[in-house]
Amino acid sequence: MAPNSDRTDTNNPRVCEKQSGIGAPHASTPASQQAELQLRAHDAWALPVEVLGDALGVTFSEKELIDNHQAWLIALRGRIAVITLPGLSREVKEQRIRRLFCERISHGWAAITVDSEDGVTFCETFLEEVDPADDPPEVSPKQTKDVRDLYEGSAYAPLHGWRGDEEVIAALRTLIIDALAGTAEDMPEEAYPLPEGVGAMVAIGYDEQGALHPLVWVRTDIPSGLRADLWGYCAALSASLDRVDVEPDENGIFYVGMERSPVTGPGVALLAAAIVRRMGRSPEDCAFPLLAPGAQAEEAPPLAA
């Protein structure tokens, strides 16, 4: 099975050496806590720009830019500068900055540009000599001990505090059943072996009055954190089927893959991250692919029939 989406980022030929990621936990941090300690791409779209800038130790300025660019991010010698084109509306300026932060958090690139069409170029190490007059000002790098602290008091803070994965899964299943009038079940044994890479299935059923009801199944033989985030994605997908351009198979089933990728902007994946956080878990990358039905998928039982 192959995912139905492709990356659109364009690479810059000045790529040399990979920098370390942003917000990564210390090597001694237990793996079970790393998701809570690390900034993720979806945080760039959920947290206030000022909070993100403060957490990353960023300085902001405005300057005329070249090549239709509207925003730059430059990470050089332990400093991060964000430069935006003068005259941008507040909405456009914020969107461009969020995109820069998203790419920086996801990949640790050292130089990133965003143009007027939201096109991104980057290089991993900023090698050019910098004129001292144009050198970004000194900033004090900041370390976020726990990204969850950044959400305190915000609209995306957990409804009932931070909870364990199993509690979050139970809350997400209740959300699907109660708020979405759907069905939320573990993947039945007869569904195995699943098509390659499939972590969950979502279908839409209809009652006798023609009302729509989502049906969600998530596999149980995967780590609890991945299951929780998949349940969140399935809840978001169930409420946003009009926002995807993928058709279900002949049985009306959408196949959700397990391979994570960063959230690159508003959409189903960002909604999934927000839902999971509201239920009490700091999610990992929540952009799961919708897989095109293949020969293996046709062998799966028609759960929605």
Render pLDDT for 188-246 as a digit per residue (tens, 0 to 9): 988 888 888 999 999 988 888 888 899 999 999 999 999 999 999 999 999 998 888 88
Residue 302 has pLDDT above 70, yes or no: no
Cα 19–chain centre separation:
21
Helix axis angle, 224-238 to 268-279, nearest 10°: 120
- The full DSSP string for the chain is --BS--------S----PPPPSSPPPTTS-HHHHHHHS--TTHHHHS-HHHHHHHHTEEEEE---STTEEEEEEEETTEEEEEE-TT--HHHHHHHHHHHHHHHHHH--SEEEEETT--EEEESS--S---GGGSPPP------S-GGGGGTTSTTS-SS----HHHHHHHHHHIIIIIS--EEEEPPGGGPSPPTTEEEEEEEEE-TT--EEEEEEE-SSS-HHHHHHHHHHHHHHHT-GGG------TTSEEEEE---B---SSSHHHHHHHHHHHHT------BPPEEPP-HHHHHS--TT-
Residue 184 has pLDDT above 60, yes or no: yes
C-alpha span between 279 and 293 (Å, rounded): 31
| The predicted structure's pLDDT at residue 286 | 95
Structure tokens at 223: 């780590």
| The predicted structure's pLDDT at residue 125 | 63
> 185: phi > 0 → left, psi -120 to 50 → alpha, else beta; which?
beta
| The predicted structure's pLDDT at residue 194 | 86
Residue 8 has pLDDT above 70, yes or no: no
The least confident of 88-92, 244-248, 297-301 is 297-301
| The predicted structure's pLDDT at residue 37 | 63
Between the CA of residue 244 and those of 39, 138, 160, what are the distances in Å?
26, 44, 30
| The predicted structure's pLDDT at residue 196 | 87
Residue 305 has pLDDT above 50, yes or no: no
Please report which confidence band the pLDDT of residue 181 belongs to, taking 50, 70 and 90 as the band edges: very high
> 159: phi > 0 → left, psi -120 to 50 → alpha, else beta; which?
alpha
